[in-house]
Structure 1
């Protein structure tokens, strides 16, 4: 669209028109459409557990549907009993003591992320964003008027950024640093010492930190997930935690997340939500209440399955010449480098980047993966291993066969 286009001629606002489509959802939608058309597509695109929501959570939602109390508007910031339960769960799981007044219940983690940035940022404020990053982070920052500043880590550091890298990216306009552990898309997990060092650096420079803990319970081997404000109490007045029930309880479609932060920030974000969406669905909130108040048995079972799949997919991908796949310590993604395959001939084509390689994989062997360009780092692919063991083995076998044909 020409810069000279007048406001009356512009059909879509420049702000919204600049938003990129969610690459992960786009890949998942295309895979599902092809599957619906009868093609044997195997999708590694969506970050979604393949397990059903536990029965006791579903039962709580069914009862809520029958209760007239939940047929009406409820407080925009969340059901008081859910906020109290989230506070208790946060102390139980993270060792971080908060008051229910520091909590805002949102329509999933995405709304929590946007509302947090919208509440913190003024036009031109900079947010340091470690890359590879989840696709929604920079778009939410831009929508809020901020400027994402990328700091890139690669497989040589386990996809973890250092304090030195963060400091090199800091300017007088820096207001927030984003911290995500375990990470989507890489599965990287920061140790306690690394987490504390980043928190101390933020405190020294008066920066805010937004930390996304949605994958807190999905860690493997000797890795442990630690909560930044729990290990760095001095940061609590300038820290926002984003979390939700989606990954831990296989509740991606229920759309319940939350913000934890200082009371003034949470109050302002609640005011925003009162005009944007008002309260989250009461039925979903009651389901979330059952989830966070209940045991962690369901996630323990999922974690066992994910760990098995993690080891399988890493082994199979590393058997492909030209692919380097570090072993992730958390979440349910692998993020292999495919740089050595770019430009090589594969079935008559020479993919120049990971976008073209992902398209070739989908077209030739009907396997859907997400290219690294979506996460700010070309030359990589993201594959979710939150799918059945048989589909995982079949899908990676197809990719092995295809990429094994690569020639100079």
Structure 2
């Protein structure tokens, strides 16, 4: 090891209040809303989270004039994956019509993304209560989809001012969805290792994130109803937060560019897409990023990073082929889509990626992910 290379980097730390409160989200909610200053609350929660959101907000006033505390003045539930522009516009209109002063997001990444879309144009503060491991709640990244293309951007105004984490709220996640959502979080950490703004702090956090998530997810999937499940959920949610912190700092690497193309073009399920694609991006980049691969392997407790990630996905029962995924309307990605998608991936690939990404490279990667081919080159998994 040499010591003659000086260490230098730029890093920004995001201003956000983070509250981990196992089993206490409902009792802490009103106080956290008061901290944000406004009392007129627009609740953003998809239909799947409606019952949970109702329970969480049961102690809040539901009509103006019902007291000095926070008041739920409206509900927006037309949440869609990848935040279509039309959905964003409808949510913004609801915020304006209700005179909302604070946005309360209860749900996964699509729900948080919808609240962010409102904050982007209104500047309203967001309090996020995550129910999955998506991680959007801890990043200043927004995303909107229109005409089959997903565009993203970074703006500090969309970063939720407060995140209220309660792992008990993830207890109703089906095991398969929890596994895929956890692998989505893990992808943030792995992709950060070669992302455009990665720094030494990110690399340390990324390794710890992979380790925490792998341990938590394995424990949760092995015995989702056992006595150790609450602690496993705590670790998974903590790992998801770490992953988002790393992603927010390091930026979007090749893996996320691939998934943004696929999500925008085919409306594929977000977490499942990340779970399928990640081992293939890791296999593509690992030869040109040996230090990143070493950190991933070490965190997974394996001699080889790709083998360790494949083993984790297998243990979790995660999906392995893009051709098996269905969009909300039941359609699947076709083999004929691979070439045009590959061209978009090559165009979007960050210049900082450890190796160049030509359209042919991108198509080979996508073809393997579409077919479910073992990224180690040993045939289908």
Q: Which has the higher contact order (CA 8 A, sep 6+)?
A: 1
Indicate whether the TM-score tops 0.5: no
TM-score normalized with structure 1 length = 0.26
Bigger radius of gyration: 1
Greater helix content: 2
